[in-house]
């Protein structure tokens, strides 16, 4: 069949929430339940200004922070207008202007190409820009190593070690009024990232045989997940001001003001469903790791997947 090797690992696709995703969804449900006006948001460039690179692995920090911000605003129920990548729309506009794209519904006068209508594209009320400005390596590290054994060479010997280190990332973000270019909100956040390494081993002679056994573990919070967390926290604070949430607990405010409303607990955001273009939230089913999956990888221990579902 031409398939010489089958790749291992068939873990299901899961949602990618941060500790702030649930609050963003509560913010969306709160605004929808209380009838808050939803401004149109455009996301500009959120660039990596750290300049940190690996010799072989490229940039250390994600280049997709703008996409993370779009996902965060979607979770918060904001109306997003595309300004980040308009290349397809611009090309289609050029083709339509040259009468190269046909019309799906030809008009009675015989026009069979797509019409260009004035005012068809809605504008934004605010736009979100900024950058990743810090990546500080090894803010602090500690470690301990121990070796235990007596003077008799034939007796067992044991060793153990532990290492812990901390780095951090920082972002500076702002929300700008599109019409006036007034900077309405500025937020600067940092998040520390912890990594650890644990090892242990034993060495012994037994029945004329040598046994040298060692075990260990390494774990580190993903840097890119830390960047996503800082961006989601910033978007949460900004949308709280836009929606006028009375306190820092949008889920509590939602429970008071919308106790009878069905509020799905989505961590994947909202979407516009055809044909009427209404805003729906189907995050409950979107975050189900078994949905659409025909073959879950049950042979891999959950502890090796980084996050337990």
**Consecutive sets of 10 residues in the chain, 309 residues long: mean pLDDT of each?**
81 87 85 85 96 85 95 92 94 91 70 84 95 93 91 84 95 96 95 94 85 91 94 93 76 60 53 50 64 59 47
**Structure token pair of residue 73:** 């605003």
Q: What distance lies between CA 166 and its chain's CA centroid?
A: 21
pLDDT at 55: 80
Please give the pLDDT value at position 103: 80
Q: Residue 305: its pLDDT value, please?
A: 47
Residue 72 included in any domain: yes
Distance between CA atoms of residues 236 and 248, nearest Å? 10
Which range of residues forms the domain containing residue 285? 21-81+122-134+171-190+224-305
- Structural domain count of the chain: 1
User: Cα dist. 136→139, 165, 168, 170, 278 in Å?
Assistant: 7, 12, 5, 9, 44
pLDDT at residue 309 in the model: 43
Whether residue 244 is contained in a domain is answered as yes
Which one, of 225, 159, 237, 175, lies nearest residue 195 by Cα? 225
Q: Which two tokens stand for residue 83?
A: 């300004």
Q: Is residue 273 part of a domain?
A: yes
Q: Which CATH number do you get for residue 77?
A: 3.40.50
Residue 275, C-beta contacts closer than 8 angstroms, at least 6 positions apart: none
Q: Has residue 175 been placed in a domain? A: yes
pLDDT for position 167? 95
Residue 88 maps to a domain? no
What does DSSP assign to residue 302?
A: G
Q: What is the pTM of this model?
A: 0.79
CA–CA distance from 294 to each of 181, 289, 297 (Å)?
50, 11, 10
Structure tokens at 191: 């998040």
What's the pLDDT at 307? Answer: 45
* Residue 257 · residue 34 · CB < 8 Å: yes
204 in any annotated domain: no
**Pairing mode, if any, of strands 40-48 and 126-148?**
parallel
Is residue 247 a part of any domain in this protein?
A: yes
What CA–CA distance (Å, rounded) separates 62 from 227? 8
* 239 is a domain residue: yes
Identify the residue whose tokens are 């901390």: 166
pLDDT at 197: 94
The pLDDT, as a whole number, for residue 308 is: 45
Smallest CA-to-CA distance from 226 within 194, 268, 187 is with: 194
């Amino acid at each position: 069949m031409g398939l010489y090797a089958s790749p291992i690992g068939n873990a299901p696709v899961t949602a990618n929430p941060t500790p702030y995703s649930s609050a963003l969804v509560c913010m969306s449900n709160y605004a929808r339940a209380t009838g808050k006006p939803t401004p149109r948001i455009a996301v500009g460039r959120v660039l990596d200004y750290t300049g940190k690179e690996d010799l072989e692995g490229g940039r250390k920090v994600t280049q997709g922070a703008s996409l993370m911000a779009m996902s965060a605003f979607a979770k918060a129920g904001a109306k997003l207008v595309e300004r980040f990548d308009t290349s397809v729309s611009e090309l289609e506009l050029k083709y339509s202007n040259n009468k190269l794209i046909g019309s799906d519904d030809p008009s009675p006068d015989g026009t069979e190409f797509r019409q260009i209508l004035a005012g068809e594209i809605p504008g934004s009320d605010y736009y979100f820009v900024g950058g990743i400005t810090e990546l500080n390596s090894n803010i602090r590290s500690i470690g301990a190593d121990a070796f235990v054994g007596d003077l008799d060479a034939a007796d067992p010997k044991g060793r153990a070690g532990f290492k812990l280190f901390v780095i951090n990332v920082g972002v500076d973000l702002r929300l700008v009024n599109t019409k006036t270019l007034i900077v309405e909100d500025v937020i600067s956040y940092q998040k520390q990232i912890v990594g650890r390494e644990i090892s242990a081993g034993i060495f012994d002679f037994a029945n004329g045989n040598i046994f040298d056994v060692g075990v260990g573990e390494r774990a580190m919070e993903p840097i890119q997940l830390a960047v996503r967390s800082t961006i989601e926290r910033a978007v949460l604070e900004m949308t709280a001001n836009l929606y006028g949430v009375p306190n820092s607990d949008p889920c509590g405010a939602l429970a008071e003001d919308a106790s009878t409303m069905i509020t799905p607990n989505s961590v994947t955001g909202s979407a516009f469903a055809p044909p009427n273009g209404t805003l729906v939230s189907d995050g409950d089913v979107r975050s189900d790791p078994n949905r659409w999956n025909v073959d879950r990888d049950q042979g891999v221990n959950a502890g090796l997947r980084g996050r337990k579902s």
